[in-house]
Amino acid sequence: MSKIRFQALAETLNRKPIAIEENSRRSDLFGKNVFNESTMRQYLTKESYIGVMSAIEHGTKIDRKIADQVSSAMKEWALSKGVTHYTHWFQPLTGATAEKHDAFFETIGGGMAIEKFGGNQLVQQEPDASSFPNGGIRNTFEARGYTAWDPTSPAFIYGTTLCVPTIFVSYTGEALDYKTPLLRALRAVDDAATAICKYFDKNVKKVTSSLGWEQEYFLIDKALASSRPDITLTGRTLLGHSPAKGQQLDDHYFGSIPTRALNFMRDLETECMLLGIPVKTRHNEVAPNQFELAPIYEESNLAVDHNSLLMDVMNKVASRHNFKVLLHEKPFAGVNGSGKHNNWSLTTDTGVNLLSPGKTPMSNLQFLVFFVNTIKAVYENEELLRAGIASASNDHRLGANEAPPAIISVFIGEQLTKVLQELEGVSTGKLSPEEKTDLKLNVVGKIPDVLLDNTDRNRTSPFAFTGNKFEFRAVGSTANCANPMTVLNTIVAKQLKDFKNKIDVLIENDGLKKDEAIFNVLREYIKASKNILFEGNGYGAEWEKEAKKRGLSNNKTTPEALKAKISKKAISLFEEMEVMNKIEVEARYEIEIEEYTLRIQIEARVLGDIAGNHVIPTAVKYQNMLIENVRGLKDIFGNNYQKHAKEQLKLIEKISEHIEAIHSKVDEMVEARKKANKIEDIEAKAHAYCFDVKPYFDEIRYHCDKLELMIDDELWPLTKYRELLFTR
């Protein structure tokens, strides 16, 4: 084994698990470092408490005086916990979280200093924003951006810093972050859904969108991970032969969690508890060293913040435990990748989950309205939904027979399919009394029983109904959930708005009763959106053919998928729902397409490097050893040597072939890259990287992996898959 590998492995095997002491109950720790409702009650005056709560619940503005009171209370609370700094915490379009810490400390002259945090500092900041991606927005407009307090996500303490969740916008008001459009989409879905709920219950004043994400990840020992330049620089392995044992035995999934990993998880969970992230579930995933973490679902904005925060906390806690967390969608070829299922539902302020069938035919009708409208929304906007989860890393996963395909379809289960079929048969216009009774008793009335045994879950579906929520499974593990959640909530909002308009017309102009109108429109929608429903195997090649016939999109790569974001239809949708204007939509498109190019560019460079200065020199070294050996054999056996050196000679030849292939492929890749780099148009450039540069990755890898199998293990410099995946 090579020196680097030996050292990394020795370090790994010598590690003792860091013991975790847990003296406190989780519920006692929960939210301890969050400026939540109970802390606010304790620290705020009644007036400012009411002000903040009303901002949270009804989106009212917080005036200067209240902001001053809140900031001073936050400061007092934070100082009592040993905090020294504060930061506006936001999610720029890099996908990571951003923070710039300022001390509370301020001098007041005369050699004296105080701790200060005023309303001004709480409400608004102007970070130097020029290094964040902006898709040209700030070039066209004002050079600076600002962050503004989002009171709907509570401030929290991380380390010794008070973090205030904020939005990040340009001076002209364009969103430069993930949160701003999400908040707008959540307002849009609230408005549209509340208006429909009023058909059923006049008391409903607000509808909240909920999100429960399930974060998958790999946990690799730090020493092993850092011995690999590809993992360090790209978050994934660019080469490496599959180990003799992979995940064939399925012995990892739900198996007992290794002690070191478990201690990491417990530590992570404690941090999460303090930060108010309600994590609940942990288990091993399918691949070796792969795990999953899931919280109790929350209001979508908060859930998005919590997931972003979690990804950051995971990295920090992992480092304490000498691990590296790999959030990449496909860190290892040949073993399962990681995703982040987004479980989504809508709930009224009267406590009704609109995607959960009720106890009465009327509440079931309400369920059907939201159920069918969601399906229709997905049908109408499948391509946009696919665009919302597109990234260079997620391209490895979608359609790779382990994750949902790049085709978006909806799974609803056998029983609900039957319910929709029956509803489809409803006659047009006014209904006869018999038909109404039949619908109430036999179709709508039967739903709760039906759902009880609807446990049949199709894991191959990208968008599945699972009893009381939809599960968007195609989201990647590195994603900021705000992106897909903005799309989903916007398309559902638009669909609900159109639905309401139709119903109102039928009631007012055609004199239909409310439930008649609803049945009529549902029937029409079910007919119209049938093509999106698919219960079969989403991994199969058959489905690709069938989906094509149905006219569903199948965009396999990010450059192709992203295009849907800037279609006329998408822009007018976002504008109509006041989620993003044209400039914002186009800016995001630019950022994402450029990010794609950059990622592939970095991978191409790293691969060229490793192939050129790790793999080839090692191959040459080994080949020289073989040549030396053949020479020796010649000395001993004279002309007869070939008989004894047969295998060595074959190997020498093969190694030469692989070296040659790697050389020429790397050269060709570099040429393709140079050509791509000259392209000005960002879209054409991304296409060049996708279709002209990226295809070399697999070819180069093929030859490198073959060499890995031939070359003396002592010499091979790169930590192997079996070491990365099976060392605990």
Give contact residues for Mg ion (rule: CB under 5 A). 341
Q: Which does 296 bind (CB under 5 to 8 A by kind): ligand ADP, Mg ion, none?
A: ligand ADP
Q: How far apart are CA 446 and CA 27, in angstroms?
A: 39
Span interacting with ligand ADP, options 429-437, 465-473, 476-484, 651-659, rule CB under 6 A: 465-473
CB 375 → ligand ADP: shortest distance, Å? 17
Q: How far apart are CA 204 and CA 239, in angstroms?
A: 56
DSSP 462: S
Sign of CA dihedral 556, 559, 560, 566: positive
The answer to the question of residue 339 lying near ligand ADP (CB under 6 A) is: no
The owner of tokens 């409310």 is 514
Q: Which residues contact 333 (CB under 8 A, 6 or more apart)?
A: 237, 240, 242, 701
The answer to the question of residue 12 lying near ligand ADP (CB under 6 A) is: no
CB atoms within 10 A of CB 240: 26
The answer to the question of residue 371 lying near ligand ADP (CB under 6 A) is: no
> Is the CB of 342 or the CB of 529 nearer to Mg ion?
342
Identify the residue among 10, 113, 143, 296 touching ligand ADP (CB under 6 A): 296
The answer to the question of residue 10 lying near ligand ADP (CB under 6 A) is: no
DSSP 581-607: -HHHHHHHHHHHHHHHHHHHHHHHHHH
Span interacting with ligand ADP, options 107-115, 341-349, 627-635, 677-685, rule CB under 6 A: 341-349
With residue 166 as reference, give the H or E element that holds it.
strand 161-170
Span interacting with ligand ADP, options 104-112, 462-470, 606-614, 695-703, rule CB under 6 A: 462-470
548 phi, psi to nearest 5 deg? -65, -45
Question: Which residue's CB comes closest to Mg ion?
Answer: 341
The answer to the question of residue 473 lying near ligand ADP (CB under 6 A) is: no
Span interacting with ligand ADP, options 90-98, 339-347, 545-553, 614-622, rule CB under 6 A: 339-347
> Is the CB of 41 or the CB of 283 nearer to Mg ion?
283
Count interface residues toward ligand ADP (CB under 6 A): 14
303-158-289 Cα angle (round to 5): 65
Q: Which does 271 bind (CB under 5 to 8 A by kind): ligand ADP, Mg ion, none?
A: none
Q: Which does 701 bind (CB under 5 to 8 A by kind): Mg ion, ligand ADP, none?
A: none
CB 255 → ligand ADP: shortest distance, Å? 16
Q: Which does 295 bind (CB under 5 to 8 A by kind): ligand ADP, Mg ion, none?
A: ligand ADP
Q: How far apart are CA 394 and CA 403, in angstroms?
A: 10
Helices (H), 290-360: 300-320
Tokens representing residue 675 in the block: 């050509």
Contact 153, 35 (CB under 8 A): no
Angle formed by the axes of helices 179-200 and 300-320, nearest 10°: 140
Q: Which does 415 bind (CB under 5 to 8 A by kind): Mg ion, ligand ADP, none?
A: none
Span interacting with ligand ADP, options 107-115, 294-302, 311-319, 410-418, rule CB under 6 A: 294-302
- Beta strands (DSSP E) in 363-443 are 410-411
CB 177 → ligand ADP: shortest distance, Å? 23
The answer to the question of residue 723 lying near ligand ADP (CB under 6 A) is: no
211-307-12 Cα angle (round to 5): 135
> Is the CB of 298 or the CB of 383 nearer to ligand ADP?
298
Identify the residue among 121, 343, 486, 554 touching ligand ADP (CB under 6 A): 343
The answer to the question of residue 403 lying near ligand ADP (CB under 6 A) is: no
The answer to the question of residue 210 lying near ligand ADP (CB under 6 A) is: yes
* Per-position x/- string for 151-190, each x denoting binding to ligand ADP as judged by CB under 6 A, each - no binding: ----------------------------------------
The answer to the question of residue 353 lying near ligand ADP (CB under 6 A) is: yes
Give the strand pairing for 112-115 and 105-109: antiparallel
Q: Which residues of 166-205 are buried (b: 16+ CB within 10 A; e: fewer)?
A: bbbbbeeebbbbbbbbbbbbbbbbbbbbbbbbebbeeebe
Identify the residue among 169, 182, 219, 294 touching ligand ADP (CB under 6 A): 294
Number of continuous H segments (helices) and E segments (strands) in the chain: 29, 17
Q: How far apart are CA 496 and CA 620, in angstroms?
A: 66
CB 179 → Mg ion: shortest distance, Å? 24
Identify the residue among 12, 270, 284, 345 touching ligand ADP (CB under 6 A): 345
Specify the amino acid at residue 724.
Answer: L
> Is the CB of 39 or the CB of 301 nearer to ligand ADP?
301
Span interacting with ligand ADP, options 33-41, 90-98, 209-217, 625-633, rule CB under 6 A: 209-217
The answer to the question of residue 307 lying near ligand ADP (CB under 6 A) is: no
314-319-325 Cα angle (round to 5): 50
Give Cα separations from 495 to 350, 365, 378, 436 (angstroms). Answer: 23, 17, 9, 26
Count how many Cα atoms sit within 13 Å of the Cα of residue 458 in the half-sphere of its side chain.
22
> Is the CB of 341 or the CB of 494 nearer to Mg ion?
341
CB atoms within 10 A of CB 144: 13
Give the strand pairing for 207-221 and 290-295: antiparallel
CB 214 → ligand ADP: shortest distance, Å? 5
The answer to the question of residue 194 lying near ligand ADP (CB under 6 A) is: no
Tokens representing residue 156 in the block: 């929290």
Q: Which does 177 bind (CB under 5 to 8 A by kind): ligand ADP, Mg ion, none?
A: none
Q: Give the CA-trace dihedral at 402, 406, 409, 412, to 10 degrees.
A: 20
The owner of tokens 């040209």 is 136
Residue of 159, 157, 161, 160 whose CA lies nearest to 33: 157
> Is the CB of 215 or the CB of 597 nearer to ligand ADP?
215
The answer to the question of residue 234 lying near ligand ADP (CB under 6 A) is: no
Q: Which does 413 bind (CB under 5 to 8 A by kind): ligand ADP, Mg ion, none?
A: none
Identify the residue among 117, 297, 371, 543 touching ligand ADP (CB under 6 A): 297
Identify the residue among 145, 295, 404, 538 touching ligand ADP (CB under 6 A): 295
Question: Which residue's CB comes closest to ligand ADP?
Answer: 212
CB 538 → ligand ADP: shortest distance, Å? 16
Between residue 590 and residue 629, which ones bind ligand ADP under the rule CB under 6 A?
Answer: none
The answer to the question of residue 466 lying near ligand ADP (CB under 6 A) is: yes
Span interacting with ligand ADP, options 118-126, 157-165, 461-469, 507-515, rule CB under 6 A: 461-469
The answer to the question of residue 285 lying near ligand ADP (CB under 6 A) is: no
Q: Which residues contact 69 (CB under 8 A, 6 or more apart)?
A: 44, 45, 47, 48, 119
Q: How far apart are CA 147 and CA 580, in angstroms?
A: 18
CB 71 → ligand ADP: shortest distance, Å? 33
Interface ranges with ligand ADP (CB under 6 A): 210, 212, 214, 294-297, 343-345, 353, 466, 468-469
